Structure 1
Amino acid sequence: MPAGSTSRTIASFSEQPAKPGSIEELRAAMEQIVAAPAPAKPSKQERREAREAREARKAARQAGEPEELSDDQWREKARGILLRQLTASDKTAKQLKDKLLENECPEDIADEVIDRYAEINLVDDERFAKSWVVARARSRGLARGAIKRELRTKGVDDELAAEALEQIDDEAEEQRARELVRAKLRPESMGADRDKALRRLVGMLGRKGYNGGMAFKVAREEWEERFGNRY
């Protein structure tokens, strides 16, 4: 496809799916999970026991011992960790589970809390994948192959990844490759050696996941469109 042709571009991809909203919205969603009557005011004895338990946990942490919490305490801690993670940015179930396990949360409780969050759409791998594809294609100019590898490392199922990648067709991918090449076609930085310049352009596209055949075709056509036979 020669330079200047119109094609579907990254900007015409579908809008990114909605992500978890503000911290207030996340907290409101959490209330669906943990809603319960306010507990009675603790007695003096209960307050003393709670203080001693906190001090014991602190001492255990300082000594490098694993934290001993009840299942309910782990659930509360896990919800807090997930709230902070999702407030920062959307995450996959695998990313969230990895974070909980990193904090020594029992695996069964990690799975339970994440599943509950998924039920109220705070965790949604399909939404994440669609959003990730659009963002990485637009901001980094990545091809489908590179984006697919990234999604796999984040724990997105191959079938969900394939559906998300349908947002980029062959025409849009080639157009993005041409845009990347045009941005690099500056004689003062590329030099006068055509073959060396083409190898650099093909290498740049390859690192972004474009296949070799298409990368060479685009690099050669864009070079000839810009410079003809002057180099």
Structure 2
Amino acid sequence: MYSTLIIGANSAIAHAISEKLISAKACDDLILVSRSPITVTSSNVVSFVCDYSEPSIEHVASQLTFKNTHLRVFVCNGTLHSDHYFPEKKAGELTEEAMLSLFRANTVVPSLWLKYLLPIASKKLDDIKIMLFSARVGSISDNELGGWYSYRASKAALNMMIKTFSVEYKRRIIQSKLIAFHPGMTDTPLSKPFQSRASYTLFTPEFVAERALNIIENTHCDGKASYVDWDNQKIEW
């Protein structure tokens, strides 16, 4: 058994992960962090509200306690578009507002969670596995199509932060594993504007949740960062 922490718990895939864990009674305790309140449906579930500013992340992290010394973490935060910006098709569409917004959501917030979880893990845990939601378009070597400047760059930056954090996690926690996870095209609000013209298979959040849980459970704590897709296939950094 293990403890589980889900950050960005109100997203569709995160919700599916939590529902699977609750129904399977697969963990000793489940901690959910989200921007808005979550109705707790089980006695071993605890929820926290966080606005994802650094003071708020630090405060929530300081309140975390776990029933088990084995911890699994899912960092599901991220964004692709809003009412004010959309993925750029060409360089002329690039704006400072979109870049800063995407970097904050996709790179800064997950990195701050890694920062504040590290001292907790090094003092209180025997092992920790952290899966952070990245994207295949964050692969620098795989970029043959161009476009989506801000989103690509924010996910590539996240991947670099994951690789860099993995070095310090290994130094301070012998049993650790960080995973950059590409969920594939999933039926969520994030992908909704692109579903009609996508050539990819559209997955359900439940399917992706099952794959994410399987990957994190069966990946060894080797102290290295991995970059994989929903089928646990390696993606080139």
Please give the TM-score of this superposition, normalised by the length of structure 2: 0.24
Larger Rg: 1
Q: Which has the higher contact order (CA 8 A, sep 6+)?
A: 1
Q: Which has the higher helix share?
A: 1
Please give the TM-score of this superposition, normalised by the length of structure 1: 0.25
